[in-house]
Amino acid sequence: MFARGIKRKCFDGEEDIEGTLAGFKSVPSYNLQRQSLLDMSLVKLQLCHMLVEPNLCRSVLIANTVRQIQEEMTQDGTWQVINAQNTGQASLDRLVSSDILCRSTKEQGEGKLVPSYSSFSKDFEDIQSQDIISDLSTVASVQAPRNPQSNVWEMENPQENRGNFQKSLDQIFETLENKNPNSVEDLFSDVDNSYYDLDTVLTGMMSNTKMGHCDVLESFSSQTTTNSNSNCKSDINELDHIVEILVES
């Protein structure tokens, strides 16, 4: 999975460390691991079941964790607002694909790219409600560059939106029909021993540490915080792979 790819590169001994991490010790910096946790949480929020409603308790707890990290990063000054141009088409493709799963029809009209509880609960009366992670939406939503797919969502009126939503839902149903709904979760299910180092640092420390090299952070950037995706080709491929399973795009 996405995060596992990062782990293997980073924590599995120094011979696996990428060039950009030269000089990096075997125990990663706090900021890096916090970032990794944030990435993992966002992926968890985005990949939700379509056939069965996702667990609201789990979603709330993950979202609260994201909020916590974001608050701390804001205090740190390490939270970077995304420059729309730099996010790039690639990340937008990824987000739209997986995000189709999580948005209500109203949000598709607004072209937002952030998952929300209203879609988790699919509460009819909540079609009006906005994104739960409203702060993140400033980071993740793309204003200027539009790819054709997102144009479809925002240009059409809600009725047609619903139709398109239904069409892509049907597509998703077809791809998922033979799959155990948990097959995506299985990607996350292995306990990777090499991650235990991450545990000791992350769970023990809450104190703010000095920010490490910007390079270090960027090379492990996610779609929500990166300024340049060119370092993340392999990460993109991993997430693409996951999204392909879901959408078969």
Partner 1 sequence: MAGAGGGNDIQWCFSQVKGAVDDDVAEADIISTVEFNHSGELLATGDKGGRVVIFQQEQENKTQTHSRGEYNVYSTFQSHEPEFDYLKSLEIEEKINKIRWLPQKNAAQFLLSTNDKTIKLWKISERDKRPEGYNLKEEDGRYRDPTTVTTLRVPVFRPMDLMVEASPRRIFANAHTYHINSISINSDYETYLSADDLRINLWHLEITDRSFNIVDIKPANMEELTEVITAAEFHPNSCNTFVYSSSKGTIRLCDMRASALCDRHSKLFEEPEDPSNRSFFSEIISSISDVKFSHSGRYMMTRDYLSVKIWDLNMENRPVETYQVHEYLRSKLCSLYENDCIFDKFECCWNGSDSVVMTGSYNNFFRMFDRNTKRDITLEASRENNKPRTVLKPRKVCASGKRKKDEISVDSLDFNKKILHTAWHPKENIIAVATTNNLYIFQDKVN
- Interface pick for partner 1 out of 118, 150, 219, 224 (rule CB under 8 A): 118
Q: Which residue has the tokens 């069965």?
A: 52
Six-digit token pair at 221? 């950037």
Six-digit token pair at 47? 């990949």
Rounded to 10 deg, the angle between the 196-204 and 30-46 helix axes is 100
126 binds partner 1 (CB under 8 A): yes
Size of the site for partner 1 (CB under 8 A): 53
Nearest distance from residue 179's CB to partner 1, in Å? 13
What is the C-alpha to C-alpha distance for residues 125 and 90, in angstroms, rounded to an integer?
34
What is the C-alpha to C-alpha distance for residues 180 and 245, in angstroms, rounded to an integer?
12
Binding letters toward partner 1, positions 65-104, x by CB under 8 A: x--xx-----------------------------------
198 binds partner 1 (CB under 8 A): yes
- Interface pick for partner 1 out of 20, 80, 129, 227 (rule CB under 8 A): 129
- Interface pick for partner 1 out of 82, 132, 217, 243 (rule CB under 8 A): 132
Report the SS3 class of residue 216: helix
What is the C-alpha to C-alpha distance for residues 248 and 240, in angstroms, rounded to an integer?
10
What is the C-alpha to C-alpha distance for residues 244 and 138, in angstroms, rounded to an integer?
26
134 binds partner 1 (CB under 8 A): yes
What is the C-alpha to C-alpha distance for residues 82 and 223, in angstroms, rounded to an integer?
9
Binding letters toward partner 1, positions 27-56, x by CB under 8 A: -------x--x--x---x-----xxxx-xx
Looking at beta carbons only, is 52 or 144 nearer to partner 1?
A: 52
Q: Dump the DSSP string for 135-195.
A: HHHHHH---S---HHHHHHHHS-HHHHHHHHHHHHHHHHHHHTTS-TTHHHHTTT---GGG
- Interface pick for partner 1 out of 22, 27, 60, 155 (rule CB under 8 A): 60
- Interface pick for partner 1 out of 13, 27, 58, 209 (rule CB under 8 A): 58
Query: Quick check: 156 and 164 in contact, CB under 8 A?
Result: yes
What is the C-alpha to C-alpha distance for residues 143 and 41, in angstroms, rounded to an integer?
24
Binding letters toward partner 1, positions 174-193, x by CB under 8 A: ------x----x--xxxxxx
- Interface pick for partner 1 out of 3, 136, 176, 246 (rule CB under 8 A): 3
Six-digit token pair at 123? 């509460």
Q: Which residues bind partner 1 (CB under 8 A)?
A: 3, 34, 37, 40, 44, 50-53, 55-58, 60-61, 63-65, 68-69, 116-118, 121-124, 126, 129-132, 134, 166, 169, 180, 185, 188-193, 195-196, 198-200, 202-206
